[in-house]
Amino acid sequence: MSNKRKRIDNLLKGITYFSASIAAIILLFIIIFVFKNGFGLLNIDLITNDYHAKFYNGGIEEVTEFSKTQRPSHLSDEDYYSEKWGIALRDDLDREGKAMVIVSYISEDSPLYQIYDKNNDDNDEFMIEKGNLISSIKFEDKASALSVYGAQHMIQILNESNQFREIVFSSLGGGIRGSLITTLYIIGITLAIALPIGIFSAIYLNELSRKNKINQMIRSMIETLTGVPSIIYGLMGLAVFVPLTVKYTPATSANLISGSLTLAVILLPVIIKATEESLKVVPDDYRQASLALGANRTQTTFKAVLPSALPGILTATILSIGRIIGESAALIFAIGTAVKDNITIFGRSTTLSVHIWSLMTDEPANIELASTIALIILVIVLLLNLIVKLISHQYLKKLA
């Protein structure tokens, strides 16, 4: 081999290594950025809590006996405790970075268990719990103790008082339970619509169709659809699927069904192309052997070819799930941007990716919570990948 040829080969090899390294560094940087900014907020409460806090107004009759419970040893210096009322408060920041006063402890004999719901007289289970946020405590004869002045001030005012007119508290809120459920709904409904249509279309194009101009045109249209920006699909969803679902379902506006139909259209080219490629790699010997044994074309396709292409179809499914979770532009039009806690398939809602979009459009943008949701999305996609690879491995093992 000449020296010139060696130099060219080394140059090409160097460009290959350099490009692969750049791609790996970029991916690693994204993961580090998301992990660094989002890991601090990651906890089970974020996943299980509602996004919107529920507010309560508690009243109390005249208190004649106070708890006088000594400060528990497990409380830290950040907890301000009232022996009189048996409650500890702490200053903290909510998931949007705003100051709040949170109940860090409440003793079993606290007089605050005697409060009643001023908005609902029959609510017997009404009480303040650990983790609730105290917004204000209003008195008859003095100024209200507000959370903006901090937990220490609120405890000090409480210790000076034997009675209050009203205590306003709320649940923590800021959770992503609704967005997570919406994402799972969207994944299930979209796959139920897109997978059968996409897989059978690919079978038709690769196994049953003839090579003519019509089928070539269909393939060209599928390839063209792959490159269409998703925002255009969103406009189609708004113009076609939203009115359609409003007319034939209980929906009154953009909804999960219209969002799933829009995503199904987006996914069809991906599923068809990936399934067709997996069918192409099945050796023709399989088909010839099946036909030689007396099977017809349909039996050969569904009993000999399709099972061998299953790993490729599972890969297409994974690609589809990743696209569903990551899609936001189309869904902004098709299901709306309202973050909801009560999810119905005929109502507006947000997926995790749209929730990120919503957080990043706020002023200021909540990068920490957006990164946490992105981290959850990465974990979901990783788990789904592992599950599908495990299923594929077990299936190939059984097939062998």
pLDDT in tens, 52-87: 888 888 888 877 777 778 888 888 889 999 988 889
* pLDDT at position 96: 65
Domain of residue 377, CATH code? 1.10.3720.10
pLDDT in tens, 210-248: 888 888 888 888 888 888 888 899 898 999 999 999 999
* pLDDT at position 185: 92
Q: Residue 247 is part of which domain span?
A: 176-399
| Phi, psi for residue 87 in degrees, rounded to 5 | -140, 145
- Asked if residue 23 belongs to a domain, the reply is no
H/E run at residue 106: strand 99-106
Prior bond of 364 cis (ω within 30°): yes
Q: Are residues 390 and 248 in the same domain?
A: yes
Domain final residue pick, 122, 138, 170: 170
Q: Are residues 231 and 377 in the same domain?
A: yes
Q: Are residues 143 and 184 in the same domain?
A: no
Q: Are residues 164 and 215 in the same domain?
A: no
DSSP state of 5: H
- Asked if residue 1 belongs to a domain, the reply is no
Closest CA to 147 of 75, 55, 50, 47: 55
pLDDT in tens, 305-349: 888 888 888 878 877 888 888 888 888 888 888 888 888 889 888
* pLDDT at position 298: 87
* pLDDT at position 19: 94
- Asked if residue 317 belongs to a domain, the reply is yes
Q: Are residues 114 and 230 in the same domain?
A: no
* pLDDT at position 1: 64
Q: Give the count of alpha carbons within 13 A of 165, CB side only.
A: 9
Q: What is the rounded average pLDDT of the residues 4-9?
A: 86
Burial class for 148, CB neighbours closer than 10 Å (0-12, 13-18, 19+): exposed
Domain of residue 115, CATH code? 2.30.42
Q: What sign for the dihedral angle of Cα 297, 300, 301, 303?
A: positive
Closest CA to 76 of 98, 95, 99, 102: 102
Domain final residue pick, 118, 138, 170: 170
Q: Residue 398 pLDDT more than 80?
A: no
- Asked if residue 312 belongs to a domain, the reply is yes
- Asked if residue 74 belongs to a domain, the reply is yes
Q: What is the rounded average pLDDT of the residues 29-49?
A: 86
pLDDT in tens, 166-186: 889 888 877 888 999 999 999
- Asked if residue 291 belongs to a domain, the reply is yes
Q: Are residues 236 and 322 in the same domain?
A: yes
Name residue, tokens 């939203």: 242
Domain final residue pick, 128, 149, 170: 170
Q: Are residues 255 and 163 in the same domain?
A: no
pLDDT-derived band at 380 (thresholds 50, 70, 90) equals confident
Q: Residue 262 pLDDT more than 90?
A: yes
Q: Are residues 320 and 282 in the same domain?
A: yes
Rounded to two decimals, the pTM is: 0.77
* pLDDT at position 40: 82
Work out the percent of the chain whose per-residue pLDDT is above 70: 98
Q: Residue 123 pLDDT more than 70?
A: no
Q: Residue 124 pLDDT more than 70?
A: no
Q: Are residues 181 and 307 in the same domain?
A: yes
Q: Are residues 126 and 216 in the same domain?
A: no
Q: Are residues 255 and 382 in the same domain?
A: yes
- Asked if residue 345 belongs to a domain, the reply is yes
pLDDT-derived band at 259 (thresholds 50, 70, 90) equals very high
Number of domains in the chain: 2
- Asked if residue 82 belongs to a domain, the reply is yes
Q: Are residues 145 and 252 in the same domain?
A: no
